[in-house]
Structure 1
Amino acid sequence: MKRLLNTALAYMVLGLASGVFYREYTKLTGNLGEPTQLSTLHTHLLVLGMLVFLVVLALEATLRLSGRRSFSVFYWTYNVGLVITIVMMVVRGVLTLDGADPAETTAAIPGIAGLGHMLLTVGLVALFVALRGAVGEAQARVRTIGAAHEGGATLEITTAENAQR
């Protein structure tokens, strides 16, 4: 869980720093407030980075996702995809502010950005695979607890079990 929190924190710092970078770089180049890829970088990092990982942290706390292979696939492919996408946004935004026409720049920029989006998609699919398995296990635990309770048995949750959650 600490890794998820640290990941969310890193994206928050990057998101806030990107807002400052956009403001200062557009001032420096004389394009203050110019709508480029840099203007949306702040929001992308805060939402797709920080917010997504805070939500996943809450899901991890309740469903214990991190022990699943599909969760590891999500974590790494999503992060790599997001970093690639963000780097390409920076490249495109800086080139645009430096006077390059986005339509005339190399086709590699949207191609690499597309690869980043594909990795984001693979990561999100892997997250849903992990969620599906974890929700199924959680439902099975609830049914077991309910059956034990209906049978008149008492169920004691020890401190060690609470600590694992």
Structure 2
Amino acid sequence: MRKSYYAAHVYMILGVVSGLYYREFTKANDFTGDTQLALMHTHLLSLGMMGFLIVLALDKQFALSGTKLFTYFFWFYNVGIAITVAMMFVHGTETVLGDHVPEAVPLTAGLGHILLTVGLILLFVLLGKRLNESAGA
């Protein structure tokens, strides 16, 4: 359970810092258009912090952690968030600076979304197993 708590805490810090970066970086560059930096803040807070607070509550109720499926979920989900947010950072920063965004950036972000999806599937498989176990008890 502690892993989920620490993950939520780290994502809260990263979410707040990314919001600060977005505000200050766009202000310093007199940028007023749309950028991925605006979405990075909410992705970190919703998928990261809120997601892991929900997982923490589910773990308390259904004893999810300590299983192989939970470990796989934890790493796929976190790597997916890391890749997705890193590409948002690169894409958003390039946009603010007026530079060309390489084709590899959205492709890599897609990989991050795939890993997030795999992580969520693993979480639901684990939840389903735990629900079946509790229904049979």
In the alignment, structure 1 residue 133 sits paired with structure 2 residue 136: no
Aligned residues: 137
Equivalent residues of 1:26, 1:34 under 8 A apart: no
Rg larger for: 1
Partner of 2:15: 15
| Gapped regions of structure 1 (runs ≥ 5) | 142-165
Identical columns (%): 48
Structure 2 residue matching 1:65: 3-state secondary structure = coil
1:140: how far off?
A: 2.1
* Cα RMSD after superposing both structures: 1.0
Matching residue of 2:38: 39
Structure 2: give runs of 5+ residues left out of the alignment: none
> Which one has a larger percent helix, Structure 1 or Structure 2?
2
Distance 1:19 1:34 in 2: 16
TM-score (norm 2): 0.96
1:55 Cα offset (Å): 0.3
Deviations 1:38-62 (A, max 9, x none): 0111111000000000000000000
Which of structure 1's runs of 4+ aligned residues deviate more than 4 A? none
SS in 2 for 1:125: helix
Residue number in structure 2 paired with 1:92 = 91
Cα displacement (A) at 1:70: 1.4
Q: Name the counterpart of 1:116.
A: 112
Query: Displacement of 1:72 after TM fit?
Result: 1.0
Structure 2 CA distance for aligned equivalents of residues 69 and 43 of structure 1:
29
Q: Does 1:25 find its partner at 2:38? A: no
Distance 1:8 1:19 in 2: 16
